[in-house]
Amino acid sequence: MDSIIKKICDGDVRSASRLIRDIEDKLPDAKAKIKKLYAHTGKSFIIGITGAPGAGKSTLTDALITELRKHHKTIGVLAVDPTSPFTGGAILGDRIRMQRHAEDSGVFIRSLATRGALGGLSGAAGNAIHVMEAMGKDIIIVETVGIGQQEIDIVNHAHSVVVVLVPGMGDEIQTMKAGLMEIADVFVVNKANRAGAKQLQMELSSMLNLSPKTADGWKPPVVMVGDAFEPGGFAENIAQMAKSIDEHHIYLRQSGKFKERLQRKAMAEIKEALAACLLEPVLHSLIESGELEKYSEKIKNRKADPYSVAEEITEKFFQKRSKT
Amino acid sequence: MPERKIRVMVAKPGLDGHDRGARILARCFRDAGFEVIYTGCHQTPEQIAAAAIQEDVDLVGLSCLSGAHRVLFPRVVELLREKDAADISVIGGGIIPEQDLPMLYDSGIKAIFTPGASLDSIVVWIKTNIKPH
């Protein structure tokens, strides 16, 4: 097993992609491998790109890769797309926009399906990031699934969050709402050649004047990105976007906010690991033994209530644990 | 026990922009419960092989309607072998004359589906023949 860890740390794509798959499929020894890998993680800068479906996240990610490669950064990309709640299948199509980087050995792109996770990422995203960190990638870009207002798990994983908006999605009140609007470190108004872009820029700017982030010394910049089919202007806009992200990184380091983010990330990681160590095995054994069905039957017929059942299950679990 | 999900890549090699068939297949694989990586048109065999490895797929499905399958399909198989990824199976489909089938099979393509093949027959073939890594 150690040879796998070594291969990943040497940057081997096959081993890395396989371990990411083991994590996604929840294979029992994936956890053990992550434990060994963990000491090699924590050195990459992680950028989150989020926004509504079709806003242009993948196209911007592709352009950002090109920009960052000019500066010889090595890059990992995790691109998340939704899983069907009916069949479990998924179309992972973000890669289409990024295929020109497929042969660049400095870029590793891996698609993930959400597999039921509701926060805009996949349950495997956190550990998939760790795998890419261990590979030694300088920068990891995590592109979320197309999201609405509050699928904002990305905030627990990324150091810098880019929120991509497009004109024509609603009035000023939308910018006042909690959730998505609060997590942006950099706003991108994409398709800014379209009607309504200027207005959106103004609305964001006035919203940001009241933002707690602004009070802390970082007013999230609003980067206008125009038509991707007009190469000259687009490239310039993308350079601006990359620069804004970089400036945010510098701000985080200088202000001490970077440590706060790492703390938040660590807490989220503990919660995730707890769920994997406590909740999942309990549910798993309940399903295996058929008890879950029996308990459901009781609750359905009002012979028990869900809380008493949960307490009973918890007690049994801890009794079993203390015996072993 | 947790079970492996089948991951499939659908790709169109070469100068061929007719991707309706490939898209329908990608949809159909999704509905069969597979995770489908769709990489779109105009791909070089090198791009396809590299992406297949990065995505750790079990199967690459190539679609070609331009007549270049005799060169492009075997090249993908060859590249995967070179990169120590011969365990990734390759199948193909499109406008492929009957007389080309033997050379394609000889080159390591596991199955060829030509016009008239039902979507079901392709899904059944995958479920029968592809064991996830």
- Give the one of A13, A90, A110 whose C-beta lies nearest to B30's C-beta: A90
User: Strands across the sheet with B7-11, in order?
Assistant: A90-92, B35-38, B7-11, B59-64, B89-94, B111-113
So what's the pLDDT on residue A67? 96
So what's the pLDDT on residue A78? 98
- Cβ of A14 within 8 Å of Cβ of B53? The answer is yes
pLDDT band at B2 (very low <50, low <70, confident <90, very high): low
Identify the residue among A17, A111, A135 best suited for mutation to test binding to B, counting B beta carbons within 10 A and taking the highest.
A111
So what's the pLDDT on residue A229? 87
Please list, in sequence order, all residues whose beta carbon lies within 8 angstroms of the beta carbon of residue B44, skipping any fewer than 6 positions away. Answer: A103, B13
Tally the domains of chain B.
Answer: 1
The packing angle between helices B45-54 and A13-24, to 10°, is 50
Do A99 and A208 have their domain in common?
Answer: yes
Share of chain B above pLDDT 90, in %: 95
Chain B residues touching residue A21 (CB < 8 angstroms) = 4, 7, 56, 133
Q: Which residue of B has its CA nearest to A20?
A: B56
Identify the residue among B1, B28, B39 best suited for mutation to test binding to A, counting A beta carbons within 10 A and taking the highest.
B39
So what's the pLDDT on residue A243? 97
So what's the pLDDT on residue A323? 78
Closest CA–CA distance from residue A40 to any residue of chain B (Å): 21
Closest CA–CA distance from residue A284 to any residue of chain B (Å): 8
So what's the pLDDT on residue A300? 95
pLDDT band at B115 (very low <50, low <70, confident <90, very high): very high
Q: H or E stretch including A5?
A: helix A2-9
So what's the pLDDT on residue A1? 55
Chain B residues touching residue A89 (CB < 8 angstroms) = 29-36
Angle among Cα A99, A104, A107 to the nearest 5 degrees reads 80
For residues B7 and A113, is the Cβ–Cβ distance under 8 A? no
Structure tokens at A160: 């810098």
Position B1 in a domain: no
Position A5 in a domain: no
Position B19 in a domain: yes
Position B39 in a domain: yes
Position A11 in a domain: no
**CA–CA separation, A115 vs B35, rounded Å?**
10
Position A19 in a domain: no
Do A121 and A195 have their domain in common?
Answer: yes
- Cβ of A99 within 8 Å of Cβ of B85? The answer is no
**CA–CA separation, A125 vs B17, rounded Å?**
33
Do A209 and A232 have their domain in common?
Answer: yes
Closest CA–CA distance from residue B27 to any residue of chain A (Å): 7
Position A158 in a domain: yes
- Give the one of A13, A25, A87 whose C-beta lies nearest to B4's C-beta: A25
pLDDT band at B3 (very low <50, low <70, confident <90, very high): confident
What confidence tens digit (pLDDT) does each residue in B31-81 have? 999 999 999 999 999 999 999 999 999 999 999 999 999 999 999 999 999
Do A80 and A211 have their domain in common?
Answer: yes
Position A131 in a domain: yes
Position B133 in a domain: no
- Cβ of B29 within 8 Å of Cβ of A108? The answer is no
- Give the one of A88, A99, A113 whose C-beta lies nearest to B51's C-beta: A99
Do A230 and A119 have their domain in common?
Answer: yes
**Across residues A112-124, what is the average pLDDT?**
93
Do A230 and A289 have their domain in common?
Answer: no
Identify the residue among B54, B57, B80, B84 best suited for mutation to test binding to A, counting A beta carbons within 10 A and taking the highest.
B54
Q: Which residue has the higher pLDDT, A214 or A165?
A: A165
Q: Look up the CATH number of the domain holding residue A112.
A: 3.40.50.300
pLDDT band at A56 (very low <50, low <70, confident <90, very high): very high
Do A313 and A291 have their domain in common?
Answer: yes
What confidence tens digit (pLDDT) does each residue in A79-100 have? 999 999 999 999 999 999 999 9
Position A235 in a domain: yes
What confidence tens digit (pLDDT) does each residue in A151-184 have? 999 999 999 999 999 998 877 888 888 888 899 9
Position A261 in a domain: no
Instruction: Collapse the DSSP code of A88 into the 3-class scheme (helix H, G, I; strand E, B; otherwise coil) and give the result.
Output: coil
Q: Choose one of A216, A233, A255: the last residue of a domain.
A: A255
For residues A41 and A30, is the Cβ–Cβ distance under 8 A? no
Tally the domains of chain A.
Answer: 2
Position B2 in a domain: no
Instruction: Tell me which residue range forms the domain holding A156.
Output: 36-255
**CA–CA separation, A126 vs A294, rounded Å?**
34
**Across residues A188-202, what is the average pLDDT?**
94
Lowest mean pLDDT across A131-140, A284-293, B83-92: A284-293
**CA–CA separation, A78 vs A96, rounded Å?**
13
Closest CA–CA distance from residue B2 to any residue of chain A (Å): 6
Do A212 and A293 have their domain in common?
Answer: no
Do A166 and A139 have their domain in common?
Answer: yes
Q: Look up the CATH number of the domain holding residue B22.
A: 3.40.50.280
Q: Which residue has the higher pLDDT, B26 or A284?
A: B26
Instruction: Write the DSSP assignment of A123-151 as a string of letters.
Output: TTHHHHHHHHHHTT-SEEEEEPPP--SS-
What confidence tens digit (pLDDT) does each residue in A259-293 have? 999 999 999 999 989 988 888 889 888 999 999 99
Identify the residue among B6, B23, B38 best suited for mutation to test binding to A, counting A beta carbons within 10 A and taking the highest.
B38
Position A106 in a domain: yes
Instruction: Write the DSSP assignment of A51-77 as a string of letters.
Output: ESTTSSHHHHHHHHHHHHHHTT--EEE
Chain B residues touching residue A28 (CB < 8 angstroms) = 2
So what's the pLDDT on residue A177? 83
Chain A residues touching residue B55 (CB < 8 angstroms) = 17, 92, 95, 110-111
Q: Taking 80 as the threshold, does the pLDDT of residue A317 lie above it?
A: yes
Instruction: Tell me which residue range forms the domain holding B94.
Output: 7-128
Q: Taking 60 as the threshold, does the pLDDT of residue B1 lie above it?
A: no
Structure tokens at A50: 């989020």
Q: Which residue of B has its CA nearest to A30?
A: B2
Do A281 and A169 have their domain in common?
Answer: no
**CA–CA separation, A248 vs A48, rounded Å?**
13
Q: Choose one of A204, A227, A255: the last residue of a domain.
A: A255
**CA–CA separation, A13 vs A86, rounded Å?**
32
Do A195 and A286 have their domain in common?
Answer: no
Position B51 in a domain: yes
In chain B, what is the straight-line distance between the N-terminal and C-terminal CA atoms, in Å? 16
**Across residues B111-130, what is the average pLDDT?**
96
* Residue A254, burial from CB neighbour count under 10 angstroms (0-12, 13-18, 19+): exposed
Closest CA–CA distance from residue A122 to any residue of chain B (Å): 13
- Give the one of A18, A25, A89 whose C-beta lies nearest to B29's C-beta: A89
Do A95 and A129 have their domain in common?
Answer: yes
User: Strands across the sheet with A107-113, in order?
Assistant: A107-113, A75-81, A139-143, A45-51, A160-165, A186-189, A222-224
Q: How many CB pairs under 8 A join A and B?
A: 90
